[in-house]
Chain A
Amino acid sequence: MLKNFFRYFISSLFFLVAYSFSANAELKVGFVYVGPTGDHGWTYQHHEGRNAVEAAGFKTTYVESVPEGADSERVIRQLAKSGHGLIFTTSFGYMDPTNKVAKDFPNVKFEHATGYKREHSNVSTYSARFYQGRTLLGHIAGKMTKTNTIGYIASFPIPEVIRGINSMTLAAQKVNPNIKTKIVWVFTWYDPGKEAEAAQALIDQGADIIMQHTDSTAAVQVAEKAGVWSFGQASDMQKFAPKSVLTSIIDDWAPYYVERSKAVKNGTWKQQDTWHGLKEGMVAMGPYNPAMGSALVKEVEQLQKDLASGKANSFTGPIYDQKGNLLVAEGKTADDGMLAGMNVYVKGVTGDIPK
């Protein structure tokens, strides 16, 4: 009942928004968000991207907190109908609805985040190589820890999260072979209280580095209070924990959104599958905390450059899984297919992946 109410509410709101924009000839860009723009995490960063598109002189419309599945199809369809030339759908669960609507609107361009289906020539997909940022975090963590214990707050057991845990652990092991990664699954992207509790539990058990793959700033605040190190996620979280946050992985969608909007306007838009990382700036690092010491900052900046240029790779062999099976041979690097479907921990991570 609650859900239904939301649905009607959102769709009626949406009609209002759609109508108010419907009589305009220039390019209008639509955005569909899975969460509220005020989450200070995933959706917040997409919204920042939208702001940049707006600043570049385009008209934009956004609809927030759109549930994945059938409802999203209605929202996307309505955006397409009401004269939007380009539509960004910013969550994995919008994959099928996006393709379905794209079939009926061949003149509208669609961009779907984190998906892999491009069934029609007017659908592109895009995502970011966040795991490259995790490599830098692992390197810093390996150097900074005194207890050799890294606490990791994980959300859901999907390849993206597991990829992050693995790339971080590999990088940390490289600089500190005694490293242990402790993982707590909280089964939510977003519950500040629970994230804080998970961080506290990890700290109580000896972790002096806290990392998270969840969206709120609660964990870094707990770390600040307890006097241990932490890293920001999705957006720069330094102001929430100025002493504790060593750096943040920042999703920067703005350049991509502006570039694609311009491409549509100029008629140069083509279907593509984008997986950008540090090189293109879709993954950016927050300012490095001076507490790291200038030597380490230099080292990490160099590694960041090498990862961007391709000189270094987050998944360079030999890589073994927990049971000791070889995943990537010496001298090789993991290909994108393997990264996209990653579902095992590498050696050195304790515990099992929840099934």
Chain B
Amino acid sequence: MSFDINFIGVLIASIMASSVPLILAASGELITERSGVLNLGIEGMMIIGAISGFSLMIVTGNLYIAIIGSMFGGIIISIIFGFLTQTLLTNHVATGLALTIFGIGMSAMIGKNFVGIPGKEFPVFLDNLSETIPFFGPILFGHSIIFYFAFILPFLTNYFLKRTKIGLMIRAVGDSPDSASNQGINVILVRYLCVLYGGAMCGLAGAYLSLIYTPQWIENMTAGRGWIALALVVFATWNPIKVLIGAMIFGGLTIIQLHMQALGLRIPVQFLSALPYIMTIIVLVVISRDSRKIKLSTPSSIGKIFYKEK
């Protein structure tokens, strides 16, 4: 193995590619949670996004319809969650778990006819430059549109939550729904919209898997990534930039441990496999140990059912 500059560029590019679904799903869930709703159905929304995108791609042949369709898939299933938790006031945790189970089963049912069909190649941006420019080429070029979107999204989310009126409104709803309600904010509506947004991003994350990363449909293909995204949000203390860092560390160590195995290093393989999980937690705990800042970004009403006083 040659550790030349190009190799490192390729390595970084593959690390970034593997963290895309985590960034998308976690960024969506972050907004949902910031509004005070805990949605454990990420995995279910992702898998529904994956099958919606893939089936639409096969049926219509258009990749962009497929991408938009995957987001709608995520939105439709999150409407169920929103209706149950916001209108019928059910428990967030139980409803979210049910959503995951429902999503996995539903996607398998829709996907029955799409097993064993190869996906299409997704158009990438300036692929020729990725091979001609050393180091930066593979990192910056030759990726799909979702890839670039995923790396801008955390910064947009950060700006949105800190600097825009709607962002502040969402935080107010998540921190103290009663005061927000007294201020005339429609708490239920804000939460509904945040749930739908989370669904759309999770759907997109699923579509990245079924359309771009491993272009095919197989049952349960998200394989637990939704749960990792969920954990990332908590360990990143609801900060979008830290979500990005966490996702990169997780993706990075997943890839690097595979390389270490292939090199034949005499480190126990089980330890290498556990490394991404351990290191991501350690790093995120260390970079967010300022308790004052944690308090500022933790939505204090998370998971609590909001009853509007009449």
State the A residues within 8 Å of B (CB): 1-2, 5-6, 9, 35-36, 38-40, 44, 151, 182-188, 190-198, 200-202, 204-207, 216-218, 221, 235, 239-240, 350-352, 354-355
Q: How far is the CB of B260 from chain A (nearest CB, A)?
A: 9
Given A187-B270, A192-B209, 5 new contacts (CB under 8 A): A2-B100, A2-B101, A151-B262, A192-B223, A202-B262
Please, which residues of chain A bring their CB within 8 A of the CB of B216? 192, 216-218, 221, 240
Contact A216 B219 (CB under 8 A): no
Contact A192 B258 (CB under 8 A): no
CA distance A194 to B259 in the complex (A): 13
Also in contact, A351 and B264, with CB within 8 A (given A197-B18, A204-B10, A221-B215): yes
Q: Is B286 an interface residue (CB 8 A)?
A: no
> In this complex, which of A35, A201, A216, A217 has the most chain B Cβ atoms within 10 angstroms of its Cβ?
A201
Closest 5 CB pairs of A and B: A201-B258, A191-B223, A350-B264, A218-B214, A354-B269
Please, which residues of chain B bring their CB within 8 A of the CB of A36? 108, 219-220
Q: Is B266 an interface residue (CB 8 A)?
A: yes
Q: Which of A6, A216, A217 contacts B101 (CB 8 A)?
A: A6
Q: How far is the CB of B228 from chain A (nearest CB, A)?
A: 11
Contact B262 A44 (CB under 8 A): no
Q: How far is the CB of A129 from chain B (nearest CB, A)?
A: 25
Contact B214 A184 (CB under 8 A): no
* Interface set, chain B 211-246, CB cutoff 8 A to A: 213-216, 218-221, 223-225
Contact A193 B268 (CB under 8 A): no
> In this complex, which of A185, A193, A195 has the most chain B Cβ atoms within 10 angstroms of its Cβ?
A193
Q: Is B263 an interface residue (CB 8 A)?
A: yes
Q: How far is the CB of B11 from chain A (nearest CB, A)?
A: 7
CA distance A254 to B279 in the complex (A): 47
Please, which residues of chain A bring their CB within 8 A of the CB of B224? 191
CA distance A79 to B221 in the complex (A): 30
State the B residues within 8 Å of A (CB): 1, 7, 10-11, 14, 18, 21, 97, 100-101, 108, 111-112, 115-116, 118, 209, 213-216, 218-221, 223-225, 254-255, 258-259, 261-264, 266, 268-270, 273
Residue of chain B at shortest CB distance from A192: B214
Contact A216 B214 (CB under 8 A): yes
Q: How far is the CB of A169 from chain B (nearest CB, A)?
A: 14
Residue of chain A at shortest CB distance from B107: A38
Contact A39 B269 (CB under 8 A): no
Also in contact, A182 and B264, with CB within 8 A (given A1-B97, A204-B11, A218-B214): yes
Contact A354 B213 (CB under 8 A): no
Contact B223 A205 (CB under 8 A): no
Please, which residues of chain B bring their CB within 8 A of the CB of A5? 101
Also in contact, A38 and B112, with CB within 8 A (given A151-B262, A184-B261, A218-B216): yes
Also in contact, A44 and B115, with CB within 8 A (given A38-B108, A354-B268): yes
Q: How far is the CB of A35 from chain B (nearest CB, A)?
A: 8
Contact B118 A216 (CB under 8 A): no
Q: How far is the CB of A306 from chain B (nearest CB, A)?
A: 32
Please, which residues of chain B bring their CB within 8 A of the CB of A221? 118, 214-216
Contact B218 A196 (CB under 8 A): no
CA distance A136 to B111 in the complex (A): 34
Please, which residues of chain A bring their CB within 8 A of the CB of B14? 197, 200-201, 204
Q: How far is the CB of A38 from chain B (nearest CB, A)?
A: 4
Please, which residues of chain B bring their CB within 8 A of the CB of A187? 269-270, 273
Also in contact, A192 and B254, with CB within 8 A (given A182-B262, A351-B264): no
CA distance A198 to B223 in the complex (A): 15
Please, which residues of chain A bring their CB within 8 A of the CB of B273? 185, 187
CA distance A182 to B264 in the complex (A): 7
